Structure 1
């Protein structure tokens, strides 16, 4: 299986999720971007290292780095290896200790930055969850004009409706194409506006809806 080298290109604060951030990864030899929603503590740990901020007391990932080094190891690479049920899974490879540790992507990346280790994503994960901003340019202006500032409310209603149906355990039925089309337009608009945290939520909802049909 092929793994693709990526780099962290930024963190986007979420306006719709409680304290959540979107971690944006981009392949170094292409245009695909991978938004991953992470918590505030992990975002702080990543941002601190990217900005070269050294706290007076070590943060959790600084402590982990010290422990690994004192044990004679070093992080040689991290890789996001799987996307299952809208959850990303990563592995940390530690040289010197012959270890490969399962981890959340946010923790793996926070450690990779501290060890200056390369970050990879399996190509299959990028194919499934990656987005390409340039793809949005093929949309007609009329399609974009159909959406207004109430789009977020419409999306939330769609998500809420789907959640209610799941909770009621209604019989399986195909998702109306109009709903998927609207979500796809929302996804295109979020990518166009580089709102990757919102794009990630919409992408996950589209995946849930389409998988329920199979």
Structure 2
């Protein structure tokens, strides 16, 4: 798996999808190739939730992503990482990896939800 960061979020309105652009964190030191990127289409509400997690952190009242992270923490677990595991264009699939009682537990998720959780918890993202 390759570690990635969010390069940009392209917000769209109406029926046009928004884009989340992920870029690999670093290339192999001996490679002159540019860093690779991956664009994932998502809805405007999902893109806004990711952007809100990056820009302003937590809302005054918890939104769904905050609530899930609070629940994970209350159960003594933590969000270890997220993984975008496969693509069947235009659909991407992600996994949220939770560390609980020393065991990793993987939960199927939409990439937009996984990314929204990762930005709120500073968890690493992999593709």
TM-score range, shorter chain: 0.7 to 0.9
Is 1:23 matched with 2:20? yes
Unaligned 5+ runs, structure 2: 28-34
State TM-score, norm by structure 2: 0.85
Q: How many Å apart are 1:85 and its aligned residue?
A: 4.2
Indicate the structure with greater helix content: 1
- The superposition leaves residues 79-118 of structure 1 with CA deviations (integer Å, 9 ceiling, x where unpaired) of 1000124311011110015421011111111111111110
1:12 equivalent in structure 2 = 10
Counterpart Cα distance in 2 of 1:117 and 1:32: 20
1:105 equivalent in structure 2 = 111
Unaligned 5+ runs, structure 1: 122-214
Runs of 4+ in structure 1 displaced over 4 angstroms? Answer: none
Counterpart Cα distance in 1 of 2:106 and 2:84: 13
3-state DSSP class of the match of 1:23? strand
- The superposition leaves residues 103-150 of structure 1 with CA deviations (integer Å, 9 ceiling, x where unpaired) of 1111111111111110000xxxxxxxxxxxxxxxxxxxxxxxxxxxxx
3-state DSSP class of the match of 2:79? strand
2:32 equivalent in structure 1 = none
State TM-score, norm by structure 1: 0.52
1:41 equivalent in structure 2 = 45
| Higher alpha-carbon Rg | 1
- Which residue, out of 120, 127, 135, partners 2:126? 120
Counterpart Cα distance in 2 of 1:18 and 1:57: 29
3-state DSSP class of the match of 1:117? coil
Let me know the Cα RMSD of the aligned residues.
Answer: 1.6
Q: How many Å apart are 1:20 and its aligned residue?
A: 2.5
Indicate the structure with greater strand content: 2
- What are the residue-to-residue correspondences of 1:88-167 with 2, within 5 Å? 88-96=92-100, 98=103, 99-121=105-127
- What are the residue-to-residue correspondences of 1:130-209 with 2, within 5 Å? none
Counterpart Cα distance in 1 of 2:71 and 2:19: 28
